[in-house]
């Protein structure tokens, strides 16, 4: 395996209460490009999850009572340590998740940007003094940390999705326990190494690695000391966890699945639209929540778009994320490849036509060729989150048809539209039932913007000035002064 093995950031133990825990059983972490085992890590269960919650509960008063400036300094130091170790973190990420190194480096920097952002926002948590209804009292509002936060994160961005949660939580004065995806635990453990180095106090940040997700989830959602669950993952699991949280009325942040439409109108800059669609569709081999899931192209420019788009797809290079010049790495597992193959087969059975790709890649890795197929809006592939390198393309006639097709899904995370008509942009963007809309731009993710969805794509926002609210409680003080 790549030279990453010699980095002290590579840990087997889970990080609980400021200690590195060794367990009684292990789980293997595989390289999706080759199938080889890159590391075995200790595999924990509900007891360790409970111990982590107790550690976070014990550390809460100390962390909550630090000044905002003290918390900000520690977060900023953590950010600086991450930046200093970007290359090692990126190598670990590519090894366990498979994405090209350039994307892995970008993810590390992207996650670090949330820690930097909320180190700054920590000092901007404001309350209110409100005009009283009577002169014998004063009305005040305090913002206070929610308390112990539990997080469960996915394998597709194993570093950034964790950073996007821990940053606002710790900035607000909360303490934090998390369970990374069992496919990609190493990135979270590497962040814990740097947390310790940056002076994050024991018990403030805890990482529990487990193959028994349900067990750990039952602790995180059931323990009354946990006052908030922040989950990023599939919509079905998000629904299950939210229901479990209801028993103790926890706050929840849910960043769930997507079914992004990418709408190309007849007045669009076609070259810009092609570039935007390639970037949005094939990043992380199509395994991102905001990947384009359906491409809608207006009749008058359909043939021109298809010709240019397929030419660009044909140039995409797939291979190991460690290879120079690779555009697409492997998918996370063989099952993930199987799901994509099933969706393509169903689309073809329903009348879809493959224009390029449509089959598994060579070698023993989890590869699927970048694929474009023409489908009807009703095709089964348009109903599911593909989460793979496949572009279904749909032809439409008028604006209202495009909006109707785009909104015809339970999901509402990201949508994209390309047009140069200002009136059309406003009319369509306001009608799209999505939390985020890219207009002539598909690179929409950054720490300064509120990331999140509507409908069955989630609850809450991550990043931006709005992101801190999800980790704060509002307390009203009515002070009699007579």
Ligand X SMILES: O=C[C@H](O)CS(=O)(=O)O
Ligand Y SMILES: NC(=O)c1ccc[n+]([C@@H]2O[C@H](COP(=O)([O-])OP(=O)(O)OC[C@H]3O[C@@H](n4cnc5c(N)ncnc54)[C@H](O)[C@@H]3O)[C@@H](O)[C@H]2O)c1
The binding site for ligand Y (CB under 6 A) comprises 152-157, 161, 179, 181-182, 213-214, 217, 232-234, 237, 240-241, 255-258, 289, 385, 387, 413, 458
> Minimum CB separation from ligand X for residue 191, in Å?
16
Q: Is 374 a catalytic residue?
A: no
User: According to CB under 6 A, which one of 72, 160, 170, 405 is a site residue for ligand X?
Assistant: 160
Part in contact with ligand X (CB under 6 A); list of ranges 153-161, 311-319, 351-359, 381-389:
153-161
Start-end of H helices in 18-85:
46-64, 68-84
Nearer to ligand Y among residue 215 and residue 267 (C-beta)? 215
CB-nearer residue toward ligand Y: 354 or 466: 466
Question: Rounded distance, CA 453 to CA 438, Å?
Answer: 13
Which of 301, 336 has the CB closer to ligand Y?
336
Query: Whose structure tokens read 């998000």?
Result: 238
Of these partners, ligand X, ligand Y, none, which one is at the site of residue 160 (CB under 5 to 8 Å by kind)?
Answer: ligand X
Q: Can residue 336 be called a binding residue for ligand X (CB under 6 A)?
A: no
**Which of 55, 445, 457, 464 contacts ligand X by CB under 6 A?**
445
Q: Does 340 bind ligand X (CB under 6 A)?
A: no
Tokens of 258: 């997507």
Closest to 392 measured CA to CA, from 310, 475, 296: 296
288 binds ligand X (CB under 6 A): yes
Give the residue ranges of DSSP H helices in 230-269.
Answer: 235-246
Residue 214 binds which one of ligand Y, ligand X, none, with CB within 5 to 8 A depending on kind?
Answer: ligand Y
The closest alpha carbon to 296, from 436, 409, 457, belongs to: 409
Residue whose CB is less far from ligand X, 160 or 278: 160
- Burial per residue of 259-268, b for 16 or more beta-carbon CB atoms within 10 angstroms, e otherwise: bbbbbbbbeb
The residue annotated as part of the active site, out of 88, 103, 255, 374, is: 255
**Secondary structure percentages of the chain, helix, strand, coil, to 5:** 40, 25, 35
Interacting residue with ligand X among 156, 230, 253, 292 (CB under 6 A) = 156
CB 220 within 8 A of CB 440: no
**Interface positions, 9-38, toward ligand X (CB under 6 A):** none
Tokens of 321: 């994320």
93 is a site residue for ligand X (CB under 6 A): no
Minimum gap (Å) between residue 240 Cβ and ligand X: 19
- Please give the C-alpha separations between residue 84 and each of 87, 108, 195, 268, 414, in angstroms, as whole numbers: 8, 11, 13, 41, 32
Strands ordered across the beta sheet of 292-298:
353-356, 371-374, 390-396, 292-298, 260-264, 414-418, 436-439
**Number of residues in contact with ligand X, rule: CB under 6 A?**
8
Radius of gyration of the chain (CA): 23
- Cβ-based nearer residue to ligand X, 52 or 188: 188
Which residue, 160 or 189, is less far from ligand X as judged by CB?
A: 160
Active site residue ranges: 255
Would you tell me which residues interact with ligand X (CB under 6 A)? Answer: 156-157, 160, 288-290, 445, 451
């Amino acid at each position: 395996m790549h030279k990453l093995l010699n980095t002290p950031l590579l840990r087997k133990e889970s990080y609980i209460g400021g200690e590195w825990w060794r367990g009684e059983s292990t789980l293997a972490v595989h390289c999706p490009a080759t199938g080889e085992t890159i590391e075995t890590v200790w595999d924990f269960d509900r007891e360790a999850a409970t111990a982590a919650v107790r550690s976070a509960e014990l550390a809460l008063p100390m962390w909550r009572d630090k000044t905002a400036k003290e918390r900000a300094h520690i977060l900023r130091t953590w950010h600086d340590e991450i930046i200093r170790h970007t290359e090692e973190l990126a190598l670990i990420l590519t090894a366990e998740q498979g994405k090209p190194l350039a994307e892995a480096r970008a993810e590390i920097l992207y996650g670090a940007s949330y820690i930097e952002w909320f180190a700054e926002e920590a000092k901007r948590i404001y309350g209110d003094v409100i005009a009283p209804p009577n002169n014998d009292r004063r009305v005040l509002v305090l913002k206070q940390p929610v308390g112990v936060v539990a997080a469960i994160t996915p394998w597709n961005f194993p570093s950034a999705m964790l950073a996007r949660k821990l940053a606002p939580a710790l900035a607000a004065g909360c303490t934090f326990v998390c369970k990374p995806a069992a496919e990609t635990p190493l990135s979270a453990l590497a962040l814990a190494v740097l947390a310790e180095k940056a002076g994050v106090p024991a018990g403030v940040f805890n990482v529990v690695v487990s193959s028994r997700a349900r067990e750990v989830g039952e602790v995180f959602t059931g323990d009354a000391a946990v006052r908030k669950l922040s989950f990023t993952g599939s919509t079905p699991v998000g629904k299950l966890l939210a229901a479990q949280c209801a028993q103790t009325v926890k706050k929840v942040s849910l960043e769930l699945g997507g079914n992004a439409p990418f709408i190309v109108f007849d007045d669009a800059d076609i070259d810009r639209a092609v570039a935007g669609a390639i970037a949005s569709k094939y990043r992380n081999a199509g395994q991102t929540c905001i990947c384009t899931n359906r491409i809608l192209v207006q009749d008058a420019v359909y043939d021109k778009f298809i010709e240019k788009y397929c030419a660009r797809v044909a140039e995409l290079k797939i291979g190991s994320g460690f290879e120079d010049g690779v555009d697409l790495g492997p998918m996370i597992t063989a099952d993930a490849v199987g799901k994509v193959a099933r969706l393509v087969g169903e689309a073809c059975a329903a009348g879809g036509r493959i224009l390029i790709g449509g089959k598994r890649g060579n070698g023993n890795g989890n590869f699927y060729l970048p694929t474009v197929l023409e489908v009807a809006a009703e095709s089964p592939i348009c109903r599911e989150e593909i989460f793979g390198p496949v572009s279904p393309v749909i032809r439409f006639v008028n604006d209202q048809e495009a909006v109707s097709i785009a909104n015809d899904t339970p999901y509402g995370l990201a949508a994209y539209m390309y047009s140069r008509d200002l009136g059309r942009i406003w009319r369509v963007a306001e009608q799209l039932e999505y939390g985020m809309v890219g207009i002539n731009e598909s690179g929409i993710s950054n720490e300064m913007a509120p990331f999140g969805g509507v409908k069955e794509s989630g609850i809450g926002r991550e990043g931006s000035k709005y992101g801190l609210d999800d980790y704060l409680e509002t307390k009203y003080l009515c002070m009699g002064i007579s």
